Structure 1
């Protein structure tokens, strides 16, 4: 036996047998999508407010604007937000700007807005991610420029993960842009110093209306 083979045999005798790794599970199951979404987004630095009805959602949103001392609020023009009718129910003076055709006016307003409010296209429970779509009446500026972004969604918009959503999502038209949001804006330098809110909102709040739990539609 050659010296090479003797050396390899010694190494082989001292090595432990390796176990085959478990197959990677690309799909996971969660018993409660709302709870999983809340846990995942909170772990990423976001906040989740869970309410049972649309009336409660409106009340909590207006209370949140008071807590933030928001005086300038940008709103996407979306059916869910129109239903909440926040400007009509506000109990104090707030300057509202609803997304329209004048992009220059919107950009100027959002640059000095305290809060931006959007609806959501869907949410991914596994990662605590809110998907926001841009297009007519739905501007990226509202979710990116103000220091606080509030996304409103219903529990029937929750799906397990990106794979499941992509499998079942059949858009009628291609959106101008899709933004996947998993918490406030974060960036880190080469020394791994984490900074919050440098390239986007420093606070991200998802308001979840749990229609699947018997809330009034």
Structure 2
């Protein structure tokens, strides 16, 4: 009898019965409790190690800091969400320092050339962050399509310090990801990078050349 026949015979001779599902032990993923300030420090250290940029702000001064960052980079425009509070706040802001505000409110095929060639920067919300890996959690929506964070050379993400989690597992549990997820979820850990060319790590080759995180404390 060949090895294949022996395996098939053993399968046929099985007595049957349901397989027991082993208990899941996630204790290895647990971390000691930490303060918001400690998580922000860890997040900043980790994401800056891979060329991300973090600026700590308050709800009162984040627009001023945003305007300064865009001005220092010579950004001519900023792509903002139409419905999200971030977009509404920026459009209502009485600031002459902000560049022209653009809205992603039409199908991609109708303005693809402009998005890929003329948009200098974009700003999006986040669903939280992971301190351990220096990652942003993003769930694209029709109001904030994923191209907003993947195409413009400068991607600015707004992160509430209170929504920083120690680990990925903690974020999934606290936000109850098991109850439903979008068709596309993003974990962003710095600007675009690749090592395809001679196995040398290079940044800004495809996608955003800069990732700027405004942490609202």
- TM-score, with structure 1 as normaliser: 0.77
For structure 1, the residue ranges without an aligned partner over 5 or more in a row are 1-23, 211-217
Contact 1:74 1:109 in 2 (8 A): no
Distance in 1 separating the partners of 2:98 and 2:65 = 17
Distance in 1 separating the partners of 2:47 and 2:88 = 25
- Which residue in 2 is equivalent to 1:58? 63
- Which residue in 1 is equivalent to 2:49? 43
Distance in 1 separating the partners of 2:85 and 2:30 = 30
Shift of 1:106: 4.9
Query: Is 2:139 the partner of 1:138?
Result: no
Change (3 A) 1:197 1:59: same
Contact 1:54 1:84 in 2 (8 A): no
- Which residue in 1 is equivalent to 2:20? none
Change (3 A) 1:198 1:87: farther
Query: Is 2:202 the partner of 1:199?
Result: no
Shift of 1:39: 0.8
- Which residue in 2 is equivalent to 1:110? 115
Change (3 A) 1:76 1:87: same
Distance in 1 separating the partners of 2:54 and 2:194 = 22
- Which residue in 2 is equivalent to 1:21? none
- TM-score, with structure 2 as normaliser: 0.77
- Which residue in 2 is equivalent to 1:28? 31
**1:110-169 per-position Cα deviation (integer Å, ceiling 9, x unaligned):** 212111111101100111101111112011111111111100111111111111111122
Change (3 A) 1:83 1:187: same
Given candidates 183, 186, 200, the residue that maps to 1:179 is 186
Change (3 A) 1:170 1:107: farther
- Which residue in 2 is equivalent to 1:89? 94
For structure 2, the residue ranges without an aligned partner over 5 or more in a row are 1-26
Distance in 1 separating the partners of 2:95 and 2:147 = 23
**2:66 aligned counterpart, secondary structure:** helix
**1:188-214 per-position Cα deviation (integer Å, ceiling 9, x unaligned):** 02632122111211111110001xxxx
Once the two structures are overlaid, the 10-residue window that deviates more, 42-51 or 68-77, is 68-77
- Which residue in 1 is equivalent to 2:8? none
- Which residue in 1 is equivalent to 2:74? 69
Change (3 A) 1:95 1:83: closer
Shift of 1:176: 3.5
RMSD (CA atoms): 2.2
Contact 2:29 2:167 in 1 (8 A): no
